[in-house]
Chain A
Amino acid sequence: MAAGSAREGGTGGRHGLTAAPAPTPSPSPAAARTRESAAPAPTGRRPRRARRRGTLIAWAFLAPALVLFLYFKFIPMFEGLRMSFLEVRYAGDRFVGLDNYSRILTDEAFTEAIWHSVVLAVGTTLGSIVLGLLLALLIEGPARYLWFVRTAAFLPVVTTMAVVAEVWRIMYHPADSGMINSILGWAGVAPQPFLASEDSSLLSIMGMSIWRGTPYDMMIFLAGLVGVDRTLYEAAAVDGASTWHRLRHITLPALRPVFWILFTLAAIRGLRVFVEVYVLTNGGPNGSSEVLMTLIYKLGFQKGELGIAAAGGIVLFVATLLLTLLVQVMRRRQAA
């Protein structure tokens, strides 16, 4: 599933940004030929013992990775699933069936947190994709000086999340002397409370996430734009098509795979958001920006409700899985 979407993103950017390591399926003709002519020969000629030795060596090389994946990915995952049916206590765990799940789905704090996660995910995703596309279209082109603009604009993506959040927390300072409020002041806008108000805390977090997500989406769009067939533009110009028509009928259809991959990724990332909220508001004020992950964290590490926290993790996992499947189904249907 993931490989499929990566491949599409990869083919889009084959000309410029992606080179060899991208998982594009088409190797150079020369490489394909050498592999075809050379690979089958040794396996056919080699005795069975040598082949078994080869298998052993392969597993030996894989062993460190498999051990680490087992300990830090798979065992925790199955532990999480097991724990989600338990009430975890010092005296001994008690099996409670689906109680943890039903508590999550009925508890008001949880339903609100799920709702906030969804709002944050949708808002951030849409905002970043729309702005990213717009900026990509504006700075698309071969001009030399543009690399500087692209590099500068990309900086938010590589910066440390915790630092970005601290910086924005300072910029969002609610008094009229706060940085963003000063800038708004020049435009005659009254000071906003931003993170300090229940009405605007979630929106303010969204603003920062869009700021950080837009350059990433822009870069992926730029990679996709490289793959658009230029001769179609020429043909459209000959036919007298306007810029809007060209965009609507050539560019956007060509970018469709990019939209799908960005949408899936951003939505998944949005659902599991933690650091942003933890640093900026820690769910406050008055729970107005509490998301699923911050709630899970508080339940698990501060209140010791491990079973419920684990069930929350599973709910998040299922939501992520459903979302991915939904996007895949929609994409298939549209492609057909």
Chain B
Amino acid sequence: MTPKFEYAPAPESRSVVDIASSYGLFIGGEFVDPADGKSFKTVNPATEEKLSDVSEASAADVDKAVRAARRAYDRTWSRMSGAERGKYLYRIARLLQERAREFAVLETLDNGKPIKESRDVDVPTAAAHFFYHAGWADKLEYAGLGPAPKSLGVVGQVIPWNFPLLMLAWKIAPALATGNTVVLKPAETTPLTALLFAEVCRQADLPPGVVNIVTGAGPTGQAIVEHPGVDKIAFTGSTDVGKAIARAVAGTRKRVTLELGGKAANIVFDDAAIDQAVEGIVNGIFFNQGHVCCAGSRLLVQESVADDVVHRLQRRLRTLRVGDPMDKNTDVGAINSAAQLARITELTEAGVAEGAQRWSPDVELPKRGYWFAPTVFTGVSQAHRIAREEIFGPVLSVLTFRTPDEAVAKANNTPYGLSAGIWSEKGSRVLAIADKLRAGVVWANTFNRFDPTSPFGGYKESGYGREGGRQGLAAYLDTEGTH
């Protein structure tokens, strides 16, 4: 029997963060109260402790924010040189770095993700997105989108709860770099880092109205999507909501980009470096509790090595530390909300009911908060719900294949097409399989890598448009007649 080593607790201090008891809406450079005074609470999903009361923006508040954004666009932002715009973005990037600890702690408190991930991934990557796009602001004519790309105007942005600050950076940085002004709605369960970002905008002396942040739930987002003064919608979230947005803008001339769900295949060939692949599988599905649209949720293993891979995967999962997200040794944190926990529970129960075999390591989950143990299903068929529907949680479905063609066919057998993984030591096979996968991002012998220079986005029902890189700029520019 292998000895079990205990870790001493290593909690991150939360003293660096001041959370106000309530927050207004950030409109025109000021925090203002919502028109009808409504608010909702945001909680720490790891403890169910209430963190703060946040304003719920009505259609009237959204209208006010859109007007502020339009005013800022007409009077200052669209008239400013790209070089000056870029300097504001550089300031924001630096401020994010200076306040990195504060953002990381707040993100973990509000979202439930492990502090090591918010500290080492979310916050630095968010800053990197502002740095990358800052440099584009005065170089747009070199982006390959035609000689005179123009900004679109007011951009409405609706982002999800899985990477609250990072998604904000993905949306706001390119929008501002290309000369647009924004009205952004963070997710209702994770609004706090967006509200702290409003402070960063103030410290950067960003002209009032260039960035407006309205908090709220679905109806607030809908008010943004349907507002006639919005020129472009950028949404990241579920495929169902994405379809509703596509319907809502039909017949208008609004631009839309949608980053929606996924059901990524992570394909392991028999010649893969298995231990390395196992690390990639773990990172692919258990990173951020599996709350990742591009998570490698369908593991396709070549039959000849399937037992070995599953065995080594289980051994590895026994070493994962699940629990207090503020502990620096925690690998898997809390599920973001009770609603999401219910969804994960429902789908895993369907997996059992449909005949797949469920396995979890022996972990003790905290008594309070929303928790779900890392889970692996074997004996999964393509017809099972757990192989078809996005679970958005720490649940992996294992399927097998015999030939490369079968792997490709199974990988592509989904309406989604966001991401995929390939594990093989044979470069020619990796490249051939990558060619055949219908997915916007293909990670070969790695998984869940992100970089501001790399376009990210889906095929098929995973949405349209790309974020990041040269391709991401196109979504925020009018290049008609030149592109």
Partners in one complex: no
